[in-house]
Amino acid sequence: MSNFIKILKNYENICILGRKIVDHKDLVRRACPTKLDEEFKKQEMRIQEFSDLVKKAEIEWENHPCSINTYWTGLS
C-alpha cells in the first residue's frame, strides 16, 4: 500500500470514529441507567482516541514527501 493511501485510510478511520462519537447521544438514550457511567467512559476514550489519531495523521501527512503542498495555488 502506498504511503498516500495509508494516509487517506488514517483519515477514513478518523471519520468512522467521529461518527461513533456523534452517534453516542442516541446510544445513551437507549442505555440502561446503570450503564450510563460506563458509556460515558467509553465516550471519553473515543474522544481521546480521535484526538490522538488526528494528531498522528497530521504528523504523517506533514512528514510524507509526496503530500500535497498546502501552498500550491494552481497550475503553473
Kindly indicate the confidence band of residue 43, based on its pLDDT and cuts at 50, 70 and 90. Answer: very high
DSSP state of 68: P
Stretch 45-49: mean pLDDT, rounded?
96
Q: What is the mean pLDDT of the chain?
A: 85
Amino acid at 29: R
What is this structure's pTM? 0.75
DSSP for 32-58, written as a single string: -GGGHHHHHHHHHHHHHHHHHHHHHHH
Phi/psi-derived region of residue 74, left when phi > 0, alpha when psi is between -120 and 50, beta in every other case: left
**pLDDT at 21 > cutoff 90:** yes
